Amino acid sequence: MRTVHSLLVALVVGAPVLAGACSVFEPEVGPRQQSAVTAAPAATDVGGYGPKPDAGDGGDLRCLADGGYQDNACDACENESCCATRFGCYDDKSCNAANTAFDPCIKAAVDSYGLPDPVAVKKCWDTFAASGPAAAARVDCQRTKCKTICAVP
């Protein structure tokens, strides 16, 4: 009886140790395979918009239709036609700061009836464009390719 008990204890305690030891010394793995899920894209540090996700071909994933950076038709147009200047602005600290000031300026650029005041709206755009080369490039692209959709004066 004692021999059977010792044998059972040895099997219960020893089997997991042996199984673990075998896998350490003789892992049965095949050649490395590429996973269906790709690694996270490379990133660079950017202003207040988080890391720039690189599609691996130098393209910016933020510009894709499903990139998550489209709140309206103007954003969609800019992503499609002005990606480099849009996210170049966000990635530039001074341009990003001017962009942060631009949004409240546009919201406040209304007349006494709550309608957009063309003079005040133009002043917001001009101030933003004059804030630096990245902002000027962004506004130039918007005026050239998204003027109507983005209501660029």
The share of the chain scoring above pLDDT 90, in percent, equals 48
> Over 60: is that where the pLDDT of 60 sits?
yes
pLDDT at 85 over 80: yes
16: pLDDT strictly greater than 90: no
Residue 52: predicted pLDDT: 52
Which is more confidently placed, 36 or 89? 89
Q: So what's the pLDDT on residue 62?
A: 77
- What pLDDT, on the 0 to 100 scale, is given for residue 59? 65
The answer on pLDDT for 127 being more than 70 is yes
Per-residue HEC secondary structure of the chain comes to: CHHHHHHHHHHHHHHHHHHHHHHHHCCCCCCCCCCCCCCCCCEECCCCCCCEEECCCCCEHHHCCCCCCCCCHHHHHHHHHCHHHHHHHHHCHHHHHHHHHHHHHHHHCECCCCCECHHHHHHHHHHHHCCCHHHHHHHHHHHHHCHHHHCCC
Average pLDDT, the chain: 74
What pLDDT, on the 0 to 100 scale, is given for residue 38?
38
Give the pLDDT mean for 98-124.
Answer: 95
Task: Report the pLDDT averaged over residues 36-64.
Answer: 51
pLDDT digits (tens, 9 = 90+) for 66-82: 666 778 899 889 988 99
